[in-house]
Amino acid sequence: MIKKMITTLQISAVFIGTIVGAGLASGQEIKQFFSTYGYKSFIGIFICCMLYISTYYIIVNLSQKHNLKSYNDLIMLISPGLLGKATHIFTTLFLISSASIILAGSGALIHQYFNVSKWVGLIIMAFLAVIFLFRDTKGLIEINSIIVPSLFLVIITVFILYLFFYDNMNISYVKSIKPYKSPWVLSCLLYGSFNILSSSGVMVPLSREINNFKMTYTGVVIGALGLTILSFIINLLLILNIPYIFNYEIPLLYVSNRFGGAIQVMLLAIIWLEMFSTEVSDVFSVSKTLEQKFKIPYKIACFLILTLAILISQIGFVNLITFLYPAFGAVGLIFIVQCFIFYFKNKCMF
């Protein structure tokens, strides 16, 4: 019984860790997709939670009943035609691009704060990634079992400190803060869809390996609720600091700067660890697809994807990513709609 509970919590940690990257941990994603819409953004975060729970009921079921090994298997089952092939190509392109950006970001972060070559930070992350990637799903569980609780600890610490030092933390004041954007429903749907499609590369093979629907799905539900609580806290902290957060690439650093250097160092460490967790998840997802589709041994596939990511990280491609991120959200939304159509057409298998 205790072993099952631990496994369930580990699954929830992997789910949270796969979705929470440096963007969410820094507050940048929450600012972009939620905080700028004012108090209604809290409804958007709740909608995302419901989207995770409902869509992953279908994904976990299909992964285990059809013995799916990668996101490619899932996509081609849900959408076997041309649209499915396009979704698979776009997902692969996005994950490799994401891995490249994270390596470049790691190099920049280490260079900025320790004044050493960017290659140092890049090579450190790539080397550590190989160690955990070679441990397969065990490696994913191990890193997220450490990083996710640490993330919650730091964010909750900042929140508690803020409660003591901030006077206007009440519903009426939050509602009075003027939103900077209006189409909040589309924003939350794109964000939720984006996360579901990108995280499926990890959750599909993990679901297959656990092969226990109740345990896996319970882990996803706990993870979705935990992620929602975390997002609520970050969103509240950011909304209370509008418009000042718009001047910072790492909004939570601005929020935490009044609490001293130690908190900021902890937050920067968490951001780097979340970058690392996402790097491992992205490379793992694509490597599993290469193993399944082209029969390339998993460890060789990891080396190939990491090498490609290192090469791409040296190229300036801001415009490519500016296009990829919103486009991937749109592709994810189409995929979610297809998931539900597939579910209602094939209810008998659920």
Q: Please write the tens of the pLDDT for every residue from 132-172.
A: 999 999 999 999 999 999 999 999 999 999 888 877 677 88
Least confident of 40-49, 145-154, 252-261, 274-283: 252-261
Instruction: Using alpha carbons, select from 226, 205, 200 the residue that is nearest to residue 338.
Output: 200
Rounded mean pLDDT of 82-95? Answer: 92
Phi and psi, residue 313, nearest 5°? -60, -15
Torsion from C-alpha of 10, 250, 164, 145, nearest 10 degrees: 10
Residue 321: pLDDT band with limits 50, 70, 90: low
pLDDT at 26 > cutoff 70: yes
183 near 30, Cβ under 8 Å?
no
Residue 323: pLDDT band with limits 50, 70, 90: low
Rounded mean pLDDT of 60-83? Answer: 94
Return mean pLDDT, the chain: 90
Enter the DSSP assignment of 70: S
- CA pair distance 312, 329, nearest whole angstrom: 22
- What pTM was computed for the model? 0.93
Q: How far is residue 214 from each of residues 53, 70, 188, 219, 318, measured CA to CA in Å?
A: 13, 20, 28, 8, 42
Q: How far is residue 112 from each of residues 262, 266, 345, measured CA to CA in Å?
A: 18, 16, 53
Rounded mean pLDDT of 224-230? Answer: 97
pLDDT in tens, 238-272: 999 988 998 887 888 889 888 888 888 898 899 89
Torsion from C-alpha of 126, 127, 130, 131, nearest 10 degrees: -140
